[in-house]
A and B are shown apart, each in its own frame.
Chain A
């Protein structure tokens, strides 16, 4: 599926975005939904690891680390 919406991987460190959807049906997308990245939730990109990957997110009051490859599965509105 080609999405025109920006993904979480494109959100700069220090910025916050609202999750629009995690549209995939693959296990990773489902796991991200289960971890609370559901439509409407606010996600802050807190930091990136020294080599640029993975990312540190703040979502629903806790810190979550995912790689950019997984972040690309999350469609956001900035």
Chain B
């Protein structure tokens, strides 16, 4: 089987282990960048396969999700059990299993190892974090452990590459060998009360067996460095210092997503503008140019611009996860979020959603519990993202009177702006609370979470996380978002106006074209629906056109109220737009369109609606089902409509 020559089929080797055992680092050390990343059929569990060649033999390394037990309870555990049993469609039967065992935490790691050994496939144990164990005064007799488990035990320090070659050799050699003896704990099983359910007896007997092995192979000396880790832990989970540090970390994270990403985002949008200008110089004026510039570049460019934020967020999350802080953050925040039916692990995804819901929804991958993850994904788009900010800024600045609230320095526009952010948070809490007691009702979700030891994040693993997040985001932008932008462009440009009046200005021509387009017609069809919100047909039209992304609404408002394109970043354009909006009247009357209640209803609508195609696409991708984007869009649009209706009606009644 190990003879040279490339004619043999690739070996399939699975990497199994508990979470936080250095499994990802080991995967990268063995196989490098994964050759295939996707989902297992029918579930949202990530499939990661890496291919490497060792001594002329091609090996496919399957990285299985980290689990504590093979008794399948969660989708992750079911996938691991199915792959190991050779029942997973698309994954060939395994030639060998590599069990990752954390030397600092031998007993609990041997629990999963003992279950994996029972499968009866050729097996190698990779003993990781031996260096950390040595620092803590833990010594493991690997020869004795190999003898007790009846399989090779290879100590590896993956970040330094120690033991990797030996592990590859062993995986190759072991693949041809007979199955190991299954661990025998019949005597321990007999000692447990037979009235107990089988899984409970099994767990108790397994640990009795493990305790016997550990007593023989583990030697504990004086732990010289443990005190430092304990001190760090003591401070970072402390009632006061822990909370303060947490606030500091989150503040840094939040500010960086906004600030550090800005230069790169400016660069991207500048680049997009340059490409657009280049295309304009290249193509003759006409439908094709308009499609490329106004459809493809405007649509995709508006989304790709968020790439730096996504990369930065995932860099932070990977660093925090790598050093062990992410689970401490979940520990600190859990009680607060439980009140709303969420869990501590929802915190980072929700916080990130203030920058952009897309990285936030992607960050929800760190939540293992499916129900908590879905709930978090469903409410994440309610957090006011940075794309809503230009809309808020324009409307607050133009239509909210600049008067003092209580004290002279506190102005009403700022209060309204803050209220928009608060609105999202409050509504998200309410929605999560209601959903967790209706649709997602069920037994309370347990919170059993390991707080891994403090360690340095592994650069290779961190970079891989960032690369993967960025790539999967770009793939979306290049496909579905592209298609969506083209559709909206076509609706806004066709059919062409029948006989344009030659005396019209360029801006008026654009306005007339939009009026006669499908989009303009749709706006007039939905007028009865948006009229109770105080909107005229043109605002309805702008709302439809902003389906790909909220910030598009500014450009559309500019076009539709006859101004030509408006760049939300340009101060001068915005004031021009403001003047236009202030002058706009209902068709054929002198009644002003924009009053304070209308501006408020528009802001409230945009605060709560799901007008963001990218978010919906990502929800579909992350949940593995088109049901959830539809649910999200429906509930958010309904909420947005009712809230906008309420604020407009109340505002009008009070004579604002």
Give residues in A with beta carbon < 8 Å to B: 22, 25, 27-36, 38-39, 41, 46-47, 49-54, 56, 60-67, 69-70
Contacts and interface: CB of A to CB of B under 8 A. Distances in A.
A32 B69 CA distance: 11
Contacts of A50: 239-240, 242-243, 332, 335
Interface string B221-240: 00000000000011001111
Nearest to B106: A61
Nearest to B207: A38
A67 B204 contact: no
B238 to A, nearest CB: 8
A22 B18 CA distance: 22
Nearest to A57: B451
- Residue of A34, A64, A66 with most partner-chain B CB within 10 A: A34
Contacts of B207: 33, 36, 38, 41
B197 interface: yes
Given A29-B200, A35-B448, A67-B338, 15 more contacts: A25-B196, A25-B197, A27-B73, A33-B203, A34-B69, A49-B332, A49-B335, A50-B239, A50-B332, A53-B335, A60-B107, A60-B108, A62-B450, A63-B451, A67-B334
Given A32-B448, A35-B448, A50-B242, A65 B331 contact: yes
8 A-B pairs with least C-beta separation: A51-B335, A63-B451, A33-B203, A28-B446, A38-B207, A25-B197, A34-B69, A60-B107
Contacts of B239: 50
Given A47-B237, A54-B334, A38 B204 contact: yes
B286 interface: no
A56 B107 contact: no
B498 interface: no
15 contacts: A28-B448, A31-B446, A36-B108, A49-B237, A49-B332, A50-B335, A51-B336, A54-B335, A62-B105, A62-B450, A62-B452, A63-B451, A64-B451, A65-B327, A66-B447
Contacts of B450: 62-65
A49 B334 contact: yes
B335 A34 contact: no
A70 B444 CA distance: 10
A35 B199 CA distance: 13
B447 A62 contact: no
Contacts, number: 116
Contacts of A36: 107-108, 111, 207
Contacts of A28: 446, 448
B447 A67 contact: yes
Interface of B: 68-69, 71, 73, 104-108, 111, 138, 196-197, 199-200, 203-204, 207-208, 233-234, 237-240, 242-243, 327, 330-332, 334-336, 338, 344, 444, 446-453
B442 to A, nearest CB: 12
Most interface-central of A36, A54, A63 (chain B CB within 10 A): A63
A19 B237 CA distance: 24
A3 to B, nearest CB: 15
Nearest to A27: B73
Nearest to B20: A62
B323 to A, nearest CB: 14
User: B105, B208, B451: which has the most chain A beta carbons within 10 Å?
Assistant: B451
A41 B204 CA distance: 11
Contacts of A41: 207
Contact of B233 (A25, A52, A63): A63
Nearest to B203: A33
Contacts of B334: 49, 53-54, 67
B199 A30 contact: yes
Most chain A CB inside 10 Å of its own CB: which residue of B240, B330, B334? B334
Given A50-B242, A70-B446, A61 B104 contact: yes
Given A25-B200, A54-B331, A69-B444, A34 B71 contact: yes
B463 to A, nearest CB: 27
A37 to B, nearest CB: 9
Contacts of A60: 105, 107-108
Contacts of B453: 62-63
A65 B338 CA distance: 15
A52 B107 contact: no
